Amino acid sequence: MTTAHANVNTQLELLLKGAVDVIRVDDLRERLLAAAREGRTLTVKVGFDPSAPDLHLGHTVVIRKMRHFQQLGHRVVFLIGDFTGMIGDPTGKKTTRPQLSREQVMANAETYKRQIFKLLDPERTVIDFNSRWLGALSSEEWIRLTARVTLAQILERDDFSKRLAAGEPISLHELLYPVAQAYDSVCLKADVELGGTDQLFNLLVGRDLMGKLGLPAQIVMTLPLLEGLDGVEKMSKSLGNYVGVEDTPEDMFGKLMSISDQLMWKYWTLLTDLDPSGVAALQRAVASGERHPMDVKFELARTITADFHDAAGAAAAEAHFRALHQRREVPEEIPDLRLPSDGPTIVLGKLLAQAGLASSNAEARRLVEQGGVKLDGAVVRDPLAVLAAVPGSTYLLQAGKRRFARVIFAS
């Protein structure tokens, strides 16, 4: 293997981290090699419709992937869809999305500029607006462009086909959205386009259109949609299960500490730069009892909070969290539950009943699922979470506002 190929393999390890669809990996490898040979950079495009003023951590999954490309020296284009934002992409929606005024679009776009630079390097980020070329197209040019895409192709999109079968209305302007997004790729001569898994169809239309117009077809890469704090629904401000990019350090840290142990690993993968082997090492340490899940969650909250603020802000937020949640309203006398450290692994739901904090395993499960259980001050949402029997460790278990127990594992 040549040095160039070895270097590309290292790049691919970072670029493919967390990705779902990559069409195609071999194309990406070849384009990275060609860029290195020719001394040029790849153009990596991500489009954002400024439909709301605030970004949350779910949005940053793709922005972090932009940063990965940027760290490898490639050119990233943060494309603000000020033109397509007035169409409204109905992806995943059963009804037509309301169109935004130009004033709304531009006001939201200004807030995006500020927020993305919490992760991206402003000196190495190109910000563009797709009205620059879409707004300049004449009626004749629009007709010639749409002639390159068939109606059958557009109706393959899942949400369109479902609405059509159900007799629900589809406005003609909605059908233009994938075409407009595809033309963005043509104008930018994109090497790679990134998006969430719900954008796969639109990204593939861009790849197809570039090929029809004689351009090298862009590589398509999708990233997962991130579950919110509830661990069930996609992170969304409307559902209240979100962590805002511009949340205060204290709010960000506290919200991150409320996620389940299971969801924590997805956050480590998609919201930090820790490589896959590092995430796997943390998982092994927790599984073996070498590290407690709560300690690893504290580390996650520190890491993410520092990324969007700074190390000092993250440290202050952690101190605030510990003071607020681990010391407040804790009675002086708490019953102890002493357990052998060499005993079987203990599931949290059963431990609540064993400690007398729930009358049965069923009640314990309900308490956990309702967010009424805390371990060392942090809400636990998974009744099947495992408490590692680390010798000499002590944990504060709380059910509701006034029931406490101290779990002590023998040294």
Enter the tokens of residue 273: 């730069």
In the predicted model, is pLDDT for residue 147 greater than 80? yes
Region 69-84: mean pLDDT is 92
Please give the pLDDT value at position 265.
96
Enter the tokens of residue 185: 């790729």
Q: Which residues contact 163 (CB under 8 A, 6 or more apart)?
A: 94, 169, 170
**Beta-strand pair 336-339/219-223:** unpaired
Residues of the chain with pLDDT > 90: what percent?
Answer: 48
Region 330-340: mean pLDDT is 76
Nearest alpha-carbon partner for 22 in 143, 194, 189: 194
The answer to whether 253 touches 318, Cβ cutoff 8 Å, is yes
Region 347-366: mean pLDDT is 85
Q: Read off the pLDDT band of 181 (50, 70, 90).
A: very high
Region 120-147: mean pLDDT is 93
Looking at per-residue pLDDT, the higher value among 375 and 206 belongs to 206
Please give the pLDDT value at position 94.
46
- Taking all residues of the chain, what is their mean pLDDT, rounded to a whole number? 86
Please give the pLDDT value at position 388.
67
Q: Read off the pLDDT band of 380 (50, 70, 90).
A: confident
Rounded Cα distance between 44 and 62, Å, is 11
Q: Which residues contact 208 (CB under 8 A, 6 or more apart)?
A: 149, 153, 182, 217
Region 294-313: mean pLDDT is 95
Region 291-305: mean pLDDT is 94
From the number of C-beta atoms within 10 Å of its C-beta (0-12, 13-18, 19+), residue 21 rates as middle
Q: Read off the pLDDT band of 109 (50, 70, 90).
A: confident
Enter the tokens of residue 319: 């101190």
Region 257-273: mean pLDDT is 93
Q: Which residues contact 115 (CB under 8 A, 6 or more apart)?
A: 54, 55, 245, 246
In the predicted model, is pLDDT for residue 402 greater than 80? no
Rounded Cα distance between 408 and 405, Å, is 10
Lowest average pLDDT, out of 81-95, 235-249, 357-371, goes to 81-95
In the predicted model, is pLDDT for residue 51 greater than 70? yes
Enter the tokens of residue 141: 């040019």
Enter the tokens of residue 301: 């909250």
In the predicted model, is pLDDT for residue 361 greater than 70? yes
The answer to whether 170 touches 164, Cβ cutoff 8 Å, is yes
Please give the pLDDT value at position 252.
94
Please give the pLDDT value at position 158.
79
**Beta-strand pair 346-347/386-387:** antiparallel
Lowest average pLDDT, out of 62-76, 113-127, 148-162, goes to 148-162
Interval 316-328: pLDDT, tens: 999 888 877 665 5
Q: How far is CA 199 from CA 90, 206, 239, 271, 284, in A?
A: 11, 11, 21, 20, 34
Q: Going from the N-terminus, what domains does the chain have, and what CATH number goes with each? A: 3-223 (3.40.50.620), 249-326 (1.10.240.10), 336-409 (3.10.290.10)
Please give the pLDDT value at position 328.
57
Give Cα 34 distance to the centre of its chain.
Answer: 30
Please give the pLDDT value at position 75.
94
In the predicted model, is pLDDT for residue 131 greater than 60? yes
Highest average pLDDT, of 7-11, 304-308, 349-353, comes from 304-308
Region 249-262: mean pLDDT is 91
Interval 195-230: pLDDT, tens: 999 999 999 999 999 999 999 999 999 999 999 988
Lowest average pLDDT, out of 34-38, 122-126, 224-228, 341-345, goes to 341-345
Highest average pLDDT, of 78-92, 215-229, 246-260, comes from 215-229
Q: Which residues are registered as beta bridge partners of 72? A: none
Q: Read off the pLDDT band of 6 (50, 70, 90).
A: low
Please give the pLDDT value at position 3.
56
